[in-house]
Amino acid sequence: MSKEFSCSIKRIRFDENYHPADSTRLTTNFANLARGEHRQENLRKTLRMINNRFNALAHSDNPTADRYSVDVDIISANMDIEGDGNEFPIIEMLKTTIIDHKENKRIDGMIGNSFSSYVRDYDFSVVLLEHFDKNPSSPPPEDFGDLHGKLFQYLLSSEAYKANFNKQPVICLSVSTSKAYHRTANQHPVLGVEYRQDEYSLTDDYFHKMGLTVRYFMPADSAAPLAFYFAGNLLSDYTDLELISAISTMETFQKIYRPEIYNANSTAAQVYQPSLKYQDYSLTQIVYDREERSQMAVTQGKFTEEQFIKPYQAILEEWAASYDVTSHIVKKQAA
């Protein structure tokens, strides 16, 4: 039997008074926005964008486009490997709650949305870079992402997760700039037009090891498709309002972080190749340091190596070898 690790869930409200916790990855989109002299203005504008986009999509019985607002909580999942109270922040996600001002009630939104992980920083910014430095023309190691995928699935099966959330997370990310996407005839009333690609990206494969499959949809009035990573059935497991909460939250962050793709002045074509070199786009007037974000990924990957991977390497290797994720494995969506 695999060793039992202790998991705990903590949450903090993402609002105009938000300050990143010491354990938060500083490469995380929402943490980046909350620093510097423009922090409070950044946060106000971001939340306004989320609310406006939500009301635009949830337009039924909402004639003045102000029926709803969205509360966003940052969910930090920590893991105690040796049972000594020394916790390491494993995963950070977002949880939305929808406020219906007409009915005066709060409604559960999506859990997941953004995805932040120190171990993923380690995998991509330490393991992968070292591998390609030594083997520039070879694919990633076969076991690349195995440990991270098992830690994620262990968290979702933990009592701590089940006590806080009654659904599996949906992670909503940018499409890959290394792949081409093809528009299909399939259209969902909330998610929009579905796109497919002929080959999965490294991120897609990485998330597959987390037990998640992927589909790509471009919602109404969006500039580009979003990648939705999920377990189960994306189209039937979640309500329209849950899906809208994910779209409004994550499209807002992507417009800020990747305006070349998600705030472009033209929409994705029938065959779409995302590019960060695209010039015809608009800025959101929200200050975001993308260069700092990319540089810090390496720093935080090395931090993870020193504080988590090396100290617990023997325990983690033995645990991963015996941890069975067969019941969590999903099939990739057919290309």
pLDDT score of 328 more than 50: no
pLDDT score of 326 more than 50: yes
Query: Which pLDDT belongs to residue 8?
Result: 96
Could you tell me if 243 and 190 are in contact, meaning their C-beta atoms sit under 8 angstroms apart? yes
Of the listed ranges 37-41, 286-290, 313-317, 325-329, the one predicted with least confidence: 325-329
Q: Which residues lie across from 115 on neighbouring strands?
A: 93
Q: Quote the Cα angle for 268-333-160, to 5°.
A: 105
Mean pLDDT of 151-163: 95
Task: Give CA 334 to chain center in angstroms.
Answer: 22
Mean pLDDT of 218-226: 97
Helix (H, G, I), strand (E, B) or coil at 110: strand
Instruction: For residue 152, count CB atoms less than 10 angstroms from its CB and return exposed for 0-12, middle for 13-18, buried for 19 or more.
Output: buried
pTM for this entry: 0.91
Could you tell me if 71 and 13 are in contact, meaning their C-beta atoms sit under 8 angstroms apart? yes
Query: Which pLDDT belongs to residue 107?
Result: 98
Give the model's confidence band at 293: pLDDT under 50 very low, under 70 low, under 90 confident, else very high. Answer: low
What tokens appear for 217 in the block?
């949809």
Mean of the per-residue pLDDT values of the chain: 89
Mean pLDDT of 153-181: 95
pLDDT score of 333 more than 90: no
Query: Which pLDDT belongs to residue 183?
Result: 98
Could you tell me if 221 and 265 are in contact, meaning their C-beta atoms sit under 8 angstroms apart? no
